[in-house]
Structure 1
Amino acid sequence: MSGSAEVLERLMATVEKRVAQLPDGSYTTKLVRGGVEAIGAKIREEAEEVVEAAAESDEAGRAHLVHEVADLLFHTMVMMAHRGIDWSDVAAELARREGVSGLEEKRRRGGVQ
């Protein structure tokens, strides 16, 4: 997992740099210039593709799912960088929820009766 975490950290650093510098010809720049609406549209699109790929049962479907999850994660990272959110912010929120039932967490936020 540590190798995986390193890849995510490197990618996030690249995304953050592109968000800060907005280099011409960068896909990240194009997304950021479109704001939350453009980035959000890509996140919604990729989330739908994750669900579709998850329904594919063979090995090709598994590979497709991995590809789509990577796309979803990348676009989520662009949104995080655009809004100034770091992995440590997300990790802190996950730590806060650790050991708490998902249903209990929703109840605390008023989402489940």
Structure 2
Amino acid sequence: MTLDDLYTLIASRKGADPATSWTAKLFAKGPEKCAEKFGEEAIEAIIEAVKGDKEKLTSEAADVIYHLLVMLAANDVSLDAVIAELARRQGTSGIAEKAAR
């Protein structure tokens, strides 16, 4: 499954019944809850990275990516928009890009 496939699947759950879909349940709780879940998963991934547990980090990284895409969809930000922003930054030094913000 590609990230685009996953984003499309996640976005399709926006109108689904929260009783039958975890993703729909997240959407029903609002963008703020989706952002909170993303943050929780990111912290869990950080913990596993620091501990050096590759298997658990892999699992947590999958959760981070899923919850990032849910958060984007909850805020009506397309994956294409994020990819376009990455493309815009390509060839620009990370230091220069940060300084321009």
Q: Same fold (TM over 0.5)?
A: yes
TM-score normalised by length of structure 2: 0.89
TM-score normalised by length of structure 1: 0.81
Flag the structure with larger Rg: 1
The unaligned stretches of length 5 or more in structure 1 are 1-5
The residue that corresponds to 1:3 in the other structure is none
Residue 31 of structure 1, aligned match among 26, 38, 59: 26
CA distance, structure 2, for counterparts of residue 41 and residue 89 of structure 1? 22
The residue that corresponds to 1:75 in the other structure is 67
The residue that corresponds to 2:84 in the other structure is 92
CA RMSD of aligned residues (A): 1.3
Which aligned segments of 4 or more residues in structure 1 are displaced greater than 4 angstroms?
none
One-letter amino acid of the counterpart of residue 34, structure 1? K
The residue that corresponds to 2:100 in the other structure is 108
Work out the number of aligned pairs and report it.
Answer: 100
The unaligned stretches of length 5 or more in structure 2 are none
One-letter amino acid of the counterpart of residue 22, structure 1? A
1:51 paired to 2:46: yes
More contact order relative to length (CA 8 Å, sep ≥ 6): 2
Of all paired residues, the percent bearing the same amino acid is 36
